[in-house]
Amino acid sequence: MSSTTAGPHILAYPYPDSGHIIPLLDLIHRLLARGLTVTVLINPDNLPLLHPLLSIHPSSIQPLVLSAPEVHDPPRKTRVAKVRAMSELYYPILLQWFRSHPSPPVAIISDYFLGWTHHLACELGVRRLVFSPSGAFGFSVLSSVWRDLPKPIDPNDMGSPISFPKIPHSPDFPWRQISRHYRNGKEGDPDWELFRSDMLDDIASWGIVFNSFAELERVYLQHLRAELGHDRVWAVGPLLPPEDSLIGLAKRGGSSSLPCHEVMTWLGARHDNSVVYVCFGSRTSLTRKQMDVLVDALEHSRVQFILCVGVGRGRHVGDDVGAIPEGFEDRVEGRGLVIKGWAPQVAILRHRAVGAFLTHCGWNSVLEGLDAGVVMLTWPMGADQFTNAKLLVEQLGVGIRAGEDMENIPESTELSRLLAESVNATRPERVRVKKLSDAALGAIKGGSSDKDLDELVKRLAAR
């Protein structure tokens, strides 16, 4: 659906990280096509990510460019320091901006890390929508943690189970897989209290928009509507560009060591479903042990593969960082392709030659894998990735468990076997993921996600 009539004006505020910005921009693209006017709060460094939308919808979208606040906290506190600094700097600026605007937004849609915008919206008398770049299952677990404050029987036992009986399927996780921000703090600690208040503010906000779709997480969407006591929970995903989109598949993040066309040419010479794509996201650096196991398994599996080695801004930086061993690329030449930096992941996964995806199970990667209909080998590293891996393997049956962080690093021979089996045409996971891929496409082609988005626009237009 598209419209030339000016619809409601909203302010979109992504958390300043590409994994959070990109899916929100994909949502904005769909809102603009439905006639909305959008102002996007963005930092100068991330402004290039907005350029494709500015070229497609020049009269309907406007950037609000604000310099990022300076943050000097240690890396493990980067997120809480960023959130606190943004709140302190932007709150008064946004108050003034709204009050002086000739046609101010009727709503704020902001990332779920930015719970403080709920109070801003309340002060301004507008609605605040939470945008969750994670799924409804992950959000259910995280909100339950911060609301109910579960504790292990033995806090020194990192394997002690934490159960969630109120959530469908009564999932449980070892204590080590619960949010480290929750585990490592305590009530009264300013950082811990900020994380909790952000989560509680998300729950209290007017509505929540998920980058998900009904066929994927129906039971958890229904659970959240019951828990929140209202129906303002929308699943509008998967938020990905169509293959012929002007937004483009090659430039959705950072720079790469290989141009997209070279990667596509390499894939074009491979048989259907024969290649394993390996990527652990843009924020995770593998440790030496993890990397050694991975490259040894890739070398001895004999499968064709693309290995993306990210920029590694994650928790292992400056600590115990693995590297591609000397001579590895020569030994796998013709069978393996190594990309250093950002990879055109959506384009790679959608290529007919790719049959499996070894992933850290970040939600964007999960959706991109499901959209492409590839079998997923799961190796979660932190955050909601453990929840996402459980969804893929235990509930949907489209994933194969390969490892878990540092606690369950597979033997290289076992990982080699799993890599080889993942491209087997007879695996049952392949049949199931193809069905989910079809459901994902149907959801955004007039199905549940389109209907949810139309309903959201209708509610925003109702003053």
Per residue in 60-117, pLDDT (tens digit) is 999 999 998 888 766 566 788 889 999 999 999 999 999 999 999 999 999 999 999 9
User: What is the identity of the amino acid at 388?
Assistant: N
The residues with which 173 forms a beta bridge, in sequence order, are: 162
318 Ramachandran zone, left/alpha/beta (phi>0; psi -120 to 50): left
Residues 91 and 114: their CA atoms lie apart, in Å, by 11
Angle between helical axes of 448-461 and 18-33 (0-180°, round to 10)? 70
DSSP result, 19-33? HHHHHHHHHHHHHHH
Q: Which two tokens stand for residue 138?
A: 């992950």
Q: What is the pLDDT of residue 305?
A: 94
Q: Which two tokens stand for residue 31?
A: 């809102």
Residues 121 and 107: their CA atoms lie apart, in Å, by 8
For residue 360, which of 383, 342, 340 has the smallest C-alpha distance?
Answer: 383
Q: What is the pLDDT of residue 250?
A: 47
Asked if residue 63 has a cis previous peptide bond (ω within 30° of 0), the answer is no
Per residue in 220-245, pLDDT (tens digit) is 999 999 999 999 999 999 998 876 55
For residue 441, which of 356, 350, 351, 377 has the smallest C-alpha distance?
Answer: 350
Q: What is the pLDDT of residue 256?
A: 63
Q: What is the pLDDT of residue 177?
A: 94
Helices (H), 34-115: 51-56, 78-100
For residue 346, which of 23, 28, 42, 12 has the smallest C-alpha distance?
Answer: 23
Query: In the chain, pLDDT over 70 holds for what percent of residues?
Result: 92
Per residue in 147-205, pLDDT (tens digit) is 999 999 888 889 999 999 999 999 999 999 999 889 988 888 999 999 999 999 999 99
Per residue in 301-315, pLDDT (tens digit) is 889 999 998 754 444
Q: What is the pLDDT of residue 246?
A: 42
Where residue 405 falls among pLDDT bands split at 50, 70, 90?
confident
Residues 6+ positions from 248 with CB-CB distance below 8 Å: 52, 241
Q: What is the pLDDT of residue 257?
A: 66
Residue 432 has pLDDT above 60, yes or no: yes
Return the minimum-mean-pLDDT range out of 190-194, 320-324, 413-417: 320-324
Neighbours of 185 (CB within 10 A): 18
Specify whether the CB–CB gap between 204 and 118 falls below 8 A.
Answer: yes
Residues 148 and 151: their CA atoms lie apart, in Å, by 9
Residue 37 has pLDDT above 70, yes or no: yes
Residues 6+ positions from 68 with CB-CB distance below 8 Å: 16, 43, 44, 45, 86
- Higher per-residue pLDDT: 93 or 328: 93
Q: What is the pLDDT of residue 7?
A: 84
- Global confidence as pTM: 0.90
Q: What is the pLDDT of residue 71?
A: 81
> Tokens 């309340």 — which residue?
122
Count Cα atoms within 13 angstroms, Cβ side, for 175. Answer: 14
Residue 317 has pLDDT above 60, yes or no: no
Q: What is the pLDDT of residue 382?
A: 86
Domains observed in the chain: 9-237+445-461 (3.40.50.2000), 260-440 (3.40.50.2000)
Dihedral of the CA atoms 390, 394, 399, 404 (nearest 10)? 40
Q: What is the pLDDT of residue 353?
A: 95
Per residue in 287-306, pLDDT (tens digit) is 888 889 999 999 998 899 99
Per residue in 348-374, pLDDT (tens digit) is 999 999 999 999 999 999 999 999 999
Query: In the chain, pLDDT over 90 holds for what percent of residues?
Result: 70
SS3 (DSSP) at 334: coil
Dihedral of the CA atoms 267, 296, 312, 196 (nearest 10)? 110
Count Cα atoms within 13 angstroms, Cβ side, for 191. Answer: 15
SS3 (DSSP) at 141: helix
How far is residue 4 from each of residues 7, 54, 59, 156, 291, measured CA to CA in Å?
Answer: 9, 16, 10, 60, 52
